[in-house]
Structure 1
Amino acid sequence: MKIIIAGNGKMGAALTRQLAAEGDDLTLIDSNMKVLESSEERYDIMVVHGNCASMDVLLQAGVKEADLLIAMAGADEVNLLCCMTAHGLNANIHTIARVCNPEYTNQIYAMRDMFALSMVVNPERQAATEIERLLKYPGFLKRDTFTKGRVEIVELRIDERSKLCNVALNDMDGIVKCKTLVCAVLRDGKAVAPGGNFVLRAGDRIYVTAFTNVLATLLKNLGVVTHKVKRVMLCGGGRVSYYLANQLQNSGIQVQIIEQNAERCRQLSAMLPSTCIIQGDSSSQFLLESEGVSGCDALATMTGMDELNMIISLYGLSCGVPQVITKLGHIENTDLLGKLSLGSVVSPKELCCNTIVQYVRAMKNQTGAALTVHTIADGQAEAMEFLADERTKNCGRTLKELKLKKGVLVVCILKGAKMEIPNGDSYFNIGDIVYVVTGRERTIYQLNDIFE
């Protein structure tokens, strides 16, 4: 499939890396020649230097023959103009635009056809929604949702005090006392597909498939103390903080935002009248202590600098903050992140990439494409949701009879209203939803791709 990526910032670079690995025919547009040369050296792609909203530049990039345009420039207005121009030159092209400004939210959806948009993505808003969900269950490092919230894959860290430390997976049911399946383990920076005899040890990060209605039971039986979040401190007053504060104050949660820029503080005060806005340096130990960081229920570090977010998060954990969430723009160095205790790590870039990759795969495979795609285990595995239809092979056969590709695991089957954590005697039929986890070394486009 021929795809044009307009804009090679953090988001554009992440998409280029992921889509190039899947074998798509990519053309990258950017006004920075050095950035283009770097991408051209790393990947087998075409590059075009220039303004991505310019008709001449889009024609040079082959917009008339392209199947999809992904507009990821730094300015919303440029992305919208880029999509409108591309659609004017090629009426059949699909377009995806990143639009981040809250002022445009209602306008974009009301005028979607006029802007010629197939899909709109907002990484900051996605990140805020993810953080809000994590705040509802403070014991989990990450939550990925399927089937409109009925099934989840949650991430937990095993430490020396954990009830699961030095426990084999076969013995886990007697401890958690609810239906779960460990679909992946991250140990020493490497993702492992564990068997029943796999013994968990301190430092492991485990990915557990469970029904949403048993998550509270899972945490309780693991002895993870959770309490309702009443006060949250946000470091950094960017768009993620705005979206998150807006969502939290509607839930009756007390929110403090620490932001250094005085003008931004005035803007936030006008947009969030129920939120406490504090002007100051969130890296200042004195300021954090004077604002009661040790007494808050959760701390989310969301400045524009990853290094600063990491330092503040480490300090918050040392102060005994029950839940710490760290926003990171660059998460390529997963070995380093695995060795640091940063609480939950949220990447707007990764969340947005997952959404776009899911759309691209659906375009390639109009029937049978994944309904949902999530990246887990620091990007080393994918969790996907498929609908079994009349084209799906092996319906009605038990899992123990099937030959699945190496590294593929069926983690859940939804039969109407009944959900099942599968065993060897489980099977799926037409109309069932099947949940699959696989390593990133192979791409699964449809359910039939899991079979040998």
Structure 2
Amino acid sequence: MKIIVAGVGKVGTSIAKQLSAEGYDLTLIDTNQTLLNDLVERYDAIGVQGNCASMPTLLEAGVMEADLLIASTSADELNLLCCMTAQGINKNLQTIGRIRNHEYTDQVYGMIDVFALSLVVNPEKQAAREIERLIRFPGFFRRETFAKGRVEIAELRIDKNSRLCDVSLMDFNSILKTKVLVCAVVRNGEAIIPHGMFVLKAGDRVFTTGSTEALSSLLKNLGIITRKVRRILLCGGGRVSRYFAQAMAKTDVSISIIEQNRQRCEELAEILPNAHIILGDASSQSVLQKQHLDECDALISCTGMDELNMIISMMAKSQGVPHVITKLSRLETGAMIFDSLDVGSVVCPKEQCCSTVVRYVRAMENQAGAAVSVHPIADGKAEALEFIVDSDTLHRGEPLKDITLRQNTIIAAITRGSKTELPQGHSTFQTGDVVIVVSSGDHVIHQLNDIFR
């Protein structure tokens, strides 16, 4: 499949990296020749310097032969014009546009055919939705939902005082008196698909699969108290804060936003009449103390600087804020700091946008049997994928103990109707079942049959 990525900033580079790793034929367009030279060498792609919305540039990039164009520049208008021009040249081309400005949201979705868009992605809005989920269901560092909400994969961190420290997975459920499955563990930066004899250690990040009720019981039995969030402090008044505050506007949650730009404060005060808008520097300890940081139920650090967000989150943790969420714009930073610094839950808009694009690309390549959803976990070192078993799926009706899976791959859950089963040796899957797969291998899983050896 031939794919054009127009605009290779943070998001575009992340998309190019993932698609290159999966073996797609890539052409990159950007005005920065130095950046292009670096990426072309790194990802074995073709580079074209120029304006991605101009016809000559698109023709040079091979738009006539391309299957997909991803417009990911920092300018929404340029992305829209790029998609419209490219689709005007090649009527069979599919397009993905990165549109971030809230003023365009309604008209873009309402006129998606006019703008020649196959898919619209908004990284900041996706991040806001993830933050909303973490706030509504506190207690875990991260939660991913599958099978229409019936199955979740949630992340826990094991410390030296945890009941799970030095416990083998064989004894996991008997100790906690609940049915969950440990499908992945991150230890020393490495993602592991564990076996029954695997022993959990302090510092491990554990990804567990189960129903919402089972995961709630897990928190309760671990002694992790999750009180309802009633007062939230947001540091930074950018797009993520705006989208999140708008989503929470109809709830009884009190929201305060600290922003140091006066004009932006005035805009937020007009848009969010029920929120408290504070003009100030969120990195100042005195400003945070004036907002009674120690009395907040949750703090969300989402300024435009990763380093500042980490500092603010660490301050909040030191003050005993129960729920801390940190926005990071660089995956590499998240992977580096996650194990070493206590910054609470991490949300990365770029990662979520990249995941959406990759899922769409895989679905294009495999229209039948493609993953219903794809979620990167463990700092992107593993994936959780949701499939629906169809008539072409191998090994239907066979006990799992008789099926050999690829290395570093596990079936984490099987949902049949309203019932969810954590797989055991005698478990089987049938046509129509939803199967959740977790893999940390180097191979790409496009269809469910790809997991079988």
Q: TM-score, normalised by structure 2?
A: 0.98
Rounded to whole Å, the distance in 2 between the matches of 1:237 and 1:85 is 34
Deviation at 1:104, TM superposition (A): 1.1
SS at match of 1:216: helix
SS at match of 1:441: coil
SS at match of 1:226: coil
SS at match of 1:64: coil
Q: How does 1:129-208 map to 2 (within 5 A)?
A: 129-208=129-208
Partner of 2:359: 358
Does the CA-based 8 Å contact 1:175-1:222 persist in structure 2?
no
Rounded to whole Å, the distance in 1 between the matches of 2:280 and 2:302 is 14
Report the residue type matching 1:408 in the other structure: T
Does the CA-based 8 Å contact 1:306-1:327 persist in structure 2?
yes
Partner of 2:409: 408
Deviations 1:299-330 (A, max 9, x none): 00000000000011111100111111000001
Report the residue type matching 2:320 in the other structure: G
SS at match of 2:406: coil
Partner of 1:316: 316
| 1:304 aligned onto 2:301 | no
Rounded to whole Å, the distance in 2 between the matches of 1:200 and 1:249 is 41
Deviation at 1:440, TM superposition (A): 4.4
Report the residue type matching 1:148 in the other structure: K
Partner of 2:282: 282
Report the residue type matching 1:94 in the other structure: Q
Deviations 1:172-229 (A, max 9, x none): 1123322210000011111111111111111110000011233322211111011000
Which ranges of 4 or more aligned residues in structure 1 deviate by more than 4 Å?
Answer: none
Rounded to whole Å, the distance in 1 between the matches of 2:160 and 2:249 is 36
SS at match of 1:202: coil
- RMSD of aligned C-alpha atoms? 1.0
Does the CA-based 8 Å contact 1:185-1:193 persist in structure 2?
yes
Report the residue type matching 1:423 in the other structure: Q
In the comparison of the two structures, how many residue pairs are matched?
452
Does the CA-based 8 Å contact 2:408-2:441 persist in structure 1?
no
Does the CA-based 8 Å contact 2:257-2:275 persist in structure 1?
yes
| 1:78 aligned onto 2:94 | no
Deviation at 1:235, TM superposition (A): 0.4
Rounded to whole Å, the distance in 1 between the matches of 2:172 and 2:43 is 43
Partner of 1:66: 66
SS at match of 1:134: helix
Q: How does 1:43-442 map to 2 (within 5 A)?
A: 43-333=43-333, 334-442=335-443
Rounded to whole Å, the distance in 1 between the matches of 2:390 and 2:433 is 8
Rounded to whole Å, the distance in 2 between the matches of 1:251 and 1:48 is 48
Partner of 2:40: 40
Rounded to whole Å, the distance in 2 between the matches of 1:91 and 1:259 is 45
SS at match of 2:303: coil
Rounded to whole Å, the distance in 2 between the matches of 1:378 and 1:70 is 24
SS at match of 2:129: helix
SS at match of 1:434: strand
Report the residue type matching 1:84 in the other structure: M
Deviation at 1:52, TM superposition (A): 0.8
Deviation at 1:337, TM superposition (A): 2.6
Does the CA-based 8 Å contact 1:69-1:95 persist in structure 2?
yes
Rounded to whole Å, the distance in 2 between the matches of 1:187 and 1:83 is 42
SS at match of 1:249: coil
Unaligned runs of 5+ in 1: none
Rounded to whole Å, the distance in 1 between the matches of 2:418 and 2:254 is 37
Report the residue type matching 2:446 in the other structure: Y
Rounded to whole Å, the distance in 1 between the matches of 2:177 and 2:80 is 51
Does the CA-based 8 Å contact 1:163-1:223 persist in structure 2?
no
Rounded to whole Å, the distance in 1 between the matches of 2:355 and 2:206 is 20
Does the CA-based 8 Å contact 2:331-2:348 persist in structure 1?
yes
Rounded to whole Å, the distance in 2 between the matches of 1:338 and 1:40 is 32
Rounded to whole Å, the distance in 2 between the matches of 1:166 and 1:155 is 18
Partner of 2:447: 446
SS at match of 2:209: strand
Rounded to whole Å, the distance in 1 between the matches of 2:43 and 2:119 is 26
Deviations 1:337-358 (A, max 9, x none): 3111110000000011111100
Deviation at 1:416, TM superposition (A): 1.7
Deviation at 1:297, TM superposition (A): 0.3
Does the CA-based 8 Å contact 2:192-2:440 persist in structure 1?
no
Deviations 1:93-116 (A, max 9, x none): 110001111111111111111111
Report the residue type matching 1:86 in the other structure: A
Rounded to whole Å, the distance in 1 between the matches of 2:81 and 2:287 is 43
Distance of aligned partners of 1:290 and 1:157 in 2 relative to their CA distance in 1, 3 Å threshold: same
SS at match of 2:362: helix
Rounded to whole Å, the distance in 2 between the matches of 1:247 and 1:215 is 25
Rounded to whole Å, the distance in 2 between the matches of 1:401 and 1:440 is 21
Does the CA-based 8 Å contact 1:382-1:440 persist in structure 2?
no
Report the residue type matching 1:150 in the other structure: R
Name whichever of 343-352 and 213-222 sits farther off. 213-222
Rounded to whole Å, the distance in 2 between the matches of 1:214 and 1:425 is 21
Does the CA-based 8 Å contact 2:71-2:95 persist in structure 1?
yes
Rounded to whole Å, the distance in 2 between the matches of 1:355 and 1:148 is 17
Does the CA-based 8 Å contact 1:188-1:335 persist in structure 2?
no
